[in-house]
Amino acid sequence: MQGRKIAFLGTGLMGAPMARRLLAAGFEVTVWNRDRSKAEPLAADGATVADTAVEAARGASVLFTMLTNGGAVGEVLFGSGVADVLEAGTIVIDHSSISPAAAREHAFKLAERGIRHIDAPVSGGVVGAAAGTLAIMAGGDATVIDSVRDIMAPLGRVTRVGPSGTGQLAKLGNQQIVAVTIGAVAEAMLLVEAGGGSREAFRDAIRGGFAESRILELHGQRMIERNFEPGGTARNQLKDLDTVLAAAQNLSLHLPLTEAVRAEFAEFVENGGGEQDHSGLLQHLEDKNARGKA
């Protein structure tokens, strides 16, 4: 693994276990986080902890970003001076979930400096990040993606979706499916219980049939247990759905199911559910039905 210095910017809930996977694979990794206390524990795993993003980026041949949104990625790359210290030929791998338009803009601006860019959002959550089983949806030049498959391998399964920006579109598609399926599972549980059935027995009865999914398995269990401690928050789910619909508008598409689910998440967040797990949409639908009966 010698000769490929890696910088990893953004070591929060997802970034920290991802950086840890790279360290365990034997890579030399320098990490940075705006809140340094979230980066410092990685020193015990062999990381060098930088005081600034520029310090972390200097001399890196591959730079990872795992930041909150497109604004944060743009600010770190171009506002803080990171792009100015990257050498031509460096590869930037952005695992953040941002808009396709922002990803393409970043790729264009970096290309002007001779820096290559991959938009590579992930799915699989903190558990997948720690286990190295993330689904990585990559957009960009096929040759560039192939050149860093060995580096991304400890993180999960990499699939090139298409040119720049399509990795982000794939992530948005993933988030559409998650949101609509959460809504469908929640509504089905309400229906069965309203008719006298058991939510838990209903879920058990349909497991293994055509309705089987990871959402039914994991979030269905959360709904039964009423455990809405956040894994993915309703606020972030709403943000993703807003981005989906903005992308759809740019592509002249009408997505009625996504629009309907987005409206319910917007109400849920507006009523104070923003920091709950997105499976907590069940509570919003329960409250809405209770108000309808009052």
Residues marked as catalytic: 171
Q: Which long-range contacts (CB under 8 A, 24 or more apart) does 74-83 make?
A: 74/102, 74/105, 74/106, 76/9, 76/10, 77/106, 77/109, 77/110, 78/109, 80/52, 80/53, 80/54, 81/53, 81/54, 82/9, 82/53, 82/54, 82/57, 83/109, 83/110, 83/113, 83/115
Closest CA to 56 of 8, 114, 2, 115: 8
Residue showing tokens 């799915």: 123
- Element at 102 (helix H, strand E): helix 100-111
Contact present, 31 and 98 (Cβ < 8 Å): no
CA–CA separation, 186 vs 203, rounded Å? 11
CA–CA separation, 290 vs 182, rounded Å? 20
Please spell the DSSP secondary structure of 12-57, one letter per residue.
Answer: STTHHHHHHHHHHTT--EEEE-SSGGGTGGGGGGTPEEPSSHHHHH
208: helix, strand or coil: coil
CA–CA separation, 293 vs 282, rounded Å? 17
Structure token pair of residue 190: 């309400």
Residue 269 is classified by DSSP as I
